[in-house]
Chain A
Amino acid sequence: MGLVQKRQYYGLLFVAPAVIFFAIFFLYPIVIGFGLSLTDFTLLKPPVWVGLQNYQDLLNDRLFLKSLNVTIGFVLGSTVPVWFISLAMAVLFFQRFPGRELMKVLFFTPLLPSVVVVSVIWKLLLHPSGILSSVIGPIVGQMPIKWLFDLQLSPIMSVVVHDWHIAPFYMIIWLSGLTSIPPELRDAARVDGANALQSFLRVELPLLKPTAVFVAAISTIRAFQGFSIQFVLSPSQGGPLDVNTTLGIVIWKYGFQFFRMGDAAAISVVLFAFILIFTLFQLRLGRSDDFSLS
């Protein structure tokens, strides 16, 4: 073995702390999780082996099935609008006009408070005697507006709060995508007589495809994890009538409110399967992306 080759083994030393850490704090918990999902475990007594019973029960578990619906609804509802809002804002801020920088900072502010803070602020805004109710109520002729207590409105509000918080983040990503497009291409389209919209559709949009794949992927994965907003914003953590009970909320509730650790672990495994399928799908879609091993 040559000296150079021997040197390469130092790499193992460099990566060892991280790899060992993840073996303990990622791999091992995943194994425990699978194991727990095959037991009934109330925390106070040792786990009892039940085989696949927990999974079988999930098929008839109303709250779990409801939370699947809620989560899918939240994913669809929160991702698609935020793509367009953030893209529109990126296009806007890509233009030159006076006051742009100040507006960009103002637009950026929702990203600064944490999700919990954001949810508390909106809980106040959406209070039955709050500002939004008093401003919009008279317009739609209904007072007070039951923002958070209406079965249709309440999940929409979770989406609104989520999108309000996260739109500036995707705006920045779109903006960097736009900035990386060579200006010559745009100018060329203009010379061909295309107006602004045509040039955007024909030149910029196709070139933004990698950015779009990226935004779509991370926004979807983020939305799958919906927890904090629903936890803080909605009445009794996921209400009313469980319309804001996401998979994350169910895991927390089963695990730490009902102390059904086995069922909570089984739901985690199901969520894990979803994420896995989605990730494989996304890897196929964006094969040429950042995930290469070069």
Chain B
Amino acid sequence: MASVKPYESDWEFEARLRRRIRHLILISVGLLISLLFFFPVYLMVSSSFKSEGEIFAIPMHWIPHEFQGLRQYEFAFENTRLERWYINSLVIAAVQTIATVFFGALAGYGFAKFRFPGRNILFLFILSIMTVPFQILVIPMFVLVHQLGWHNSYQGLIMPGLISAFGVFMMRQFAYSVPDELLDAARIDGASEFSIFRRIALPMLKPAAASLAIITFLFSWNSFLWPLVIAQDRDLVTLPVGLTYFSQSLDREPLWAVAMAVSTMATIPVILLFVFFQRYFIEGMMVSGIKG
């Protein structure tokens, strides 16, 4: 035991040993489980660089032997309308995010800072929306959008998710923390109610807005059922729906490597958000649990 310092007491030594064993156990359990959880994601990325034939190699190739470079990605771009899907997903997510944050802040501020008649009942209404899953609404929403003549249009894709009840709820919780004194001071200065909202409340809601923006973006980016049923026009297909063209084809095996390339492409924006805005990302996820 050369590393043990001569003046270390038995007690100290034992404590250190116990801590080491504890760490060892924690590290091995943690590593085992987290690698288990990480593995499928790793597989997605690594398979996107393999050839179709190598996908099912047994034993599995951890690193592609026949490294394909970006060939599968190029294939996806050349043979499908991947860039169109990508743009559609981005446009829809962007519009819904901006609208959800803005109208959420507007309504949240209204609910938090004004006592108008019907406030409680209206807020209860908003709350009740949060508990209703979209599956229940998909049939009548589809009929409604058709009535409005918005089928096969961006309006049809975007409108039902333009404002989220959760966004209103979340912004209301945060709007409470805006001090009334500041608002009153501005009122005394003669500022209009809207400019008070814009100049004082909105800046203070920025961190909450950032979290809301991220989860709204994710929610929109990942949404599947609505784009699946509403977009008949090939120009309106979004990424998740486009991806199923690879996995659901009737008469042939999916092109797995290409499917993995598209999957990776679809995940990159989320990874970027996670890397650059980790704090808001996690906070947003946590509060969004309410959304169900």
B31 touches A112 (CB 8 A): no
A218 touches B290 (CB 8 A): yes
CB distance from B140 to the nearest CB of A (A): 4
Q: Number of residues in A with C-beta < 8 Å to the partner? A: 97
**CA gap between A7 and B125 in the complex, in Å:** 23
**CA gap between A247 and B114 in the complex, in Å:** 41
Choose one: A17, A124, A227; the contact of B135 (CB below 8 Å). Answer: A227
Contacting chain A: which of B65-73, B116-124, B205-213?
Answer: B116-124
**CA gap between A190 and B39 in the complex, in Å:** 38
Choose one: B23, B122, B134, B187; the contact of A15 (CB below 8 Å). Answer: B122
CB distance from B37 to the nearest CB of A (A): 5
B127 touches A169 (CB 8 A): no
A255 touches B116 (CB 8 A): no
A36 touches B140 (CB 8 A): yes
B103 touches A17 (CB 8 A): yes
Interface centre among A36, A106, A268 (most CB of B within 10 A): A106
A151: Cβ under 8 A from any B Cβ: no
User: Using Cβ atoms and an 8 Å threshold, which residues of chain A touch B248?
Assistant: 232, 237
How large, as a class, is the contact surface on chain B? 35 or more
Contacting chain B: which of A56-64, A75-83, A126-134?
Answer: A126-134
A99 touches B168 (CB 8 A): no
In chain A, positions 247-280 with a C-beta closer than 8 Å to chain B are 247-248, 251-252, 255-256, 261, 264-265, 268-269, 271-272, 275-276, 279
B113 touches A11 (CB 8 A): yes
Q: Which residue of A lies closest to B60 (CB)?
A: A131
CB distance from A174 to the nearest CB of B (A): 11
**CA gap between A108 and B33 in the complex, in Å:** 11
A142: Cβ under 8 A from any B Cβ: no
Choose one: B44, B139, B197; the contact of A265 (CB below 8 Å). Answer: B139
B221: Cβ under 8 A from any A Cβ: yes
**CA gap between A228 and B171 in the complex, in Å:** 29
A92 touches B29 (CB 8 A): yes
Contacting chain A: which of B2-10, B74-82, B156-164?
Answer: B156-164
Question: Known pairs A14-B197, A21-B162. 17 more at Cβ < 8 A?
Answer: A7-B193, A8-B115, A14-B110, A18-B107, A18-B126, A26-B137, A28-B144, A92-B29, A99-B31, A100-B30, A110-B37, A115-B222, A116-B243, A121-B44, A218-B289, A251-B138, A255-B138
B residues contacting A by CB (< 8 A) are 22-23, 26-27, 29-31, 33-35, 37-38, 40-41, 43-44, 47, 55-56, 58-60, 103-104, 106-107, 109-111, 113-116, 118-120, 122-127, 129, 131-144, 159-160, 162-163, 165, 168, 187, 193, 197, 221-222, 224-225, 228-229, 240, 243-244, 246-248, 254, 256, 259-260, 263, 266-267, 270-271, 274, 282, 285-286, 289-292
A-B contact pairs, 24 of them (CB 8 A): A7-B114, A12-B116, A25-B141, A26-B129, A26-B165, A31-B140, A33-B137, A97-B23, A99-B30, A100-B26, A103-B31, A107-B34, A109-B41, A111-B285, A114-B270, A120-B254, A231-B224, A237-B248, A251-B135, A261-B143, A268-B138, A269-B136, A271-B133, A293-B120
